Structure formats: structure tokens, C-alpha cells
Amino acid sequence: MTGSFDLQSYMTKGVERVVAEALKATLKDPKESAFMLRFAAASRTASKKRRRAEDAGEHIPPFLIASITSRCNLHCAGCYSRQNHATTDEKAVKQLTAEEWAKLFDEADELGISFILLAGGEPMLRRDVIEAAGERTDILFPIFTNGTFIDERYFTLFDKCRNLIPIMSIEGGREITDERRGDGIYDKLISNMDEFGRRGLVFGASVTVTRENFMEVTSDAFLDSLSDRGCKAVIFVEYVPVTDESSELAPTDIQRDFLAGEIHRLREKRPEMVYISFPGDEKLSGGCVAAGRGFFHINSHGGAEPCPFSPYSDVNVKNGSLRDAMHSPLFTALQSGDILLDDHDGGCVLYEKRALVEALIGQKGC
């Protein structure tokens, strides 16, 4: 099945469908309808910018992942970000300011990047950055959050800035969610979802798929619980170990095959929600889309990395533009080589080939 699925096309069409459905549902709300129409036009403009760049020999990815803080209030079992030391409990120092992030968002808009995924740490700790993102209405900002800091001020902000889409992390039902994330987290997430539904706000869910929960999170009962509350997207993130000690959480090959089959079924039978699987969809679409093929990552300190699971960088946006980062020696070497296209076991190819990535960083000029 490798190469049989166009991930970027599916994501773009899925977002367009969500926008169209939201527009249809909110025709009685002039403010919301105006935003949806404006964003649809902005998305078409961004697509044209990327096509013009492609015709001129420059590839612009439609997605950017921005980890806007290294702080988090939770200690989820097996968290890749803590294991990579990208997330800590210590006070953040030398991280990008809200003004620096705002400048990056403006650069992304000029390049034609349509979607910026805000991550962390826990991104809701950076209200200043999220408020700056809300002002860039031509870009859609999915916010990957543990949901614990969503309060009345955030509900008001999401109502005002419809380009901010919270994607809340949930592991299945109460028992398995609280076991991994902490007591009371599941009830907080469900309360958030119910409130988003009452207010008519768009939200999604992010599910870390492990060896323990893969059956539960693909069950109709679990997906019904999300859909009935108004969830519009489910992002399945296959657990990627970044240490040997956490490898027992990673799904087996049989489980990954099962997940791939279930996601295909869900796309056919339950189109009311958008379903994305990382890194599984990348394998189906012909290889890893990190390092600028489909997206790249800016960490909280400004380092440009292939993706959050591959924390290697040779360029910092503090010392140049977003375009410079996109064409870093490391990204160029990865795109021109075979690593991103290599077959792999279903996890992260850059993690599996990390010795080669480290060698590229060590080469002269990288």
C-alpha cells in the first residue's frame, strides 16, 4: 500500500470540509460565516503561492509545527518530549518571545504555509503566543493541548478567533487516560468538549496509540463519544519510542497494520470526522514528510528540526528567516538523500535512522 495515499491532499480536503460544514451550520452567525469565507479564500491564496514557488523550483510545505514552550504541568507516561529533554519543569529560558513567534507566523503567511500546529510542552501556558496566533486569521492554528488550562478566558478567545482549533489529548476512556496522564484529566477533557459543543466551537482530539489502548481508541464506542460531542478531527499519533526503555509502549507491527485498516474503514464509514495517523499515513503516502517535504518543526528555542521526534538542528530562526531555516543544510541533505524515503518498521524513520541523521549534522557544512 506504500505510496497509495495522498496525505497532504486528504488533510487539506478534510479541513476544507470541516470549514464548509461549520459555515453551513453557522449561517445565522454573521461573524462566524464571515471568518469561514475569509479563511477559505486565504487557503486558496496560500495554495497558489506554494504552486508559484514550486514552478520556480522552491518547495514550500503547507504545514509547520511550532513548539512554543518547553514547560508542561503533566508527566505523561513515556512522554517523548520529556525523554528528549525538550520539555522540563524548570523555568523556561532563552525561548522565543511572543513577538518573535508573531514574526515567524507572518513569514509563514507570506510563504504560503496554511497550517501551523502549536505544540509544547503545554502550549496553553503561552497565552501571549496563542493570542498573537489568533490575530493571523489567514492561517489555521491547531493547538495540541492537554486541556488542563482551558478556562473562560480561553473559551472567549476561541470564540473570537475561530482560526484557533484546540486538539485535546485523550487516551481512550477514563481509566486509561488517567493512568497515563493523571487523575481527573479525563473528566476535565470531557467537560471541555461538552462546553465547546454548547458554544458551537470546533475542536479535535489527539490520541497517542500505544500497545495498551489501540483497540479502545478505534472502537465505535470511543469514537461515538467524541463525535456526539462535536469533535471534528481525530489525530492518531502512534507512540514513537525515543529511548530503549520506552519501547514497550510502541504498537507492534500487527497492531499498526490493524490501526491502518481501521483508519481506512473510518474514513469510508464515518466521514463526519477527519482521521489522521502519524507516522502511519506517511508510510502509505510514500515516505516521511518531515524536514520540509510536508512540514518541519521549530522548537521553543528557535531551532529548526526535521520533526518533534527528530530533535536535530543546524539553524536557528533567531539568526535568520523562516525561509533560511526551511533550506537549512540538514533539511537539504535529508530531502536530497534516501533516508526520508526508506522503508521502516512503521514508527519514525528518522528515529530509526538517527545515527545517519547525527552523521549529517556532524558533516562539514551541516
Domains and CATH numbers, the chain: 7-362 (3.20.20.70)
CA 311 to chain centre: 15
The count of other CB atoms within 10 Å of the CB of residue 266 is 20
Cα(237)–Cα(227) distance, integer angstroms? 19
Which of 245, 244, 261, 265 has its CA nearest to residue 253? Answer: 261
Burial 110-131 (b: 16+ CB within 10 A, else e): ebbbbbbbbbbbbbbbbeebbb
Cα(196)–Cα(286) distance, integer angstroms? 36
- What DSSP state is assigned to residue 365? T
Looking at 72-76, 154-158, 324-328, 359-363, which range is the least confident one? 359-363
Whether 329 and 366 have beta carbons less than 8 Å apart is answered as yes
**Rounded average pLDDT over 311-316:** 90
Instruction: Give the per-residue pLDDT at 11.
Output: 60
Residue 151 parent element (H or E):
none
Instruction: Give the per-residue pLDDT at 1.
Output: 42
C-alpha grid cell for residue 318? 533567531
- pLDDT bucket at 123, cuts 50 / 70 / 90: very high
Cα(182)–Cα(185) distance, integer angstroms? 6
Average pLDDT along the chain = 84
Alpha carbon of 53 to those of 56, 295, 334: distances in Å?
Answer: 5, 16, 20
Instruction: Give the per-residue pLDDT at 365.
Output: 42
The count of other CB atoms within 10 Å of the CB of residue 52 is 12
Residue 304 has pLDDT above 50, yes or no: yes
User: In this predicted model, which residue has the larger pLDDT, 277 or 12?
Assistant: 277
The pLDDT tens digits of the residues spanning 196-230 come to 999 988 899 999 999 999 999 999 999 999 999 99
Cα(46)–Cα(252) distance, integer angstroms? 39
Whether 223 and 194 have beta carbons less than 8 Å apart is answered as no
**Rounded average pLDDT over 279-287:** 63
Q: Helices (DSSP H) in the chain: which residue ranges?
A: 7-25, 30-55, 80-83, 98-111, 127-134, 152-160, 174-181, 185-199, 220-227, 253-269, 280-284, 322-326, 329-336, 349-352, 354-362
pTM as predicted: 0.89
Alpha carbon of 121 to those of 78, 92, 113: distances in Å?
Answer: 14, 11, 23
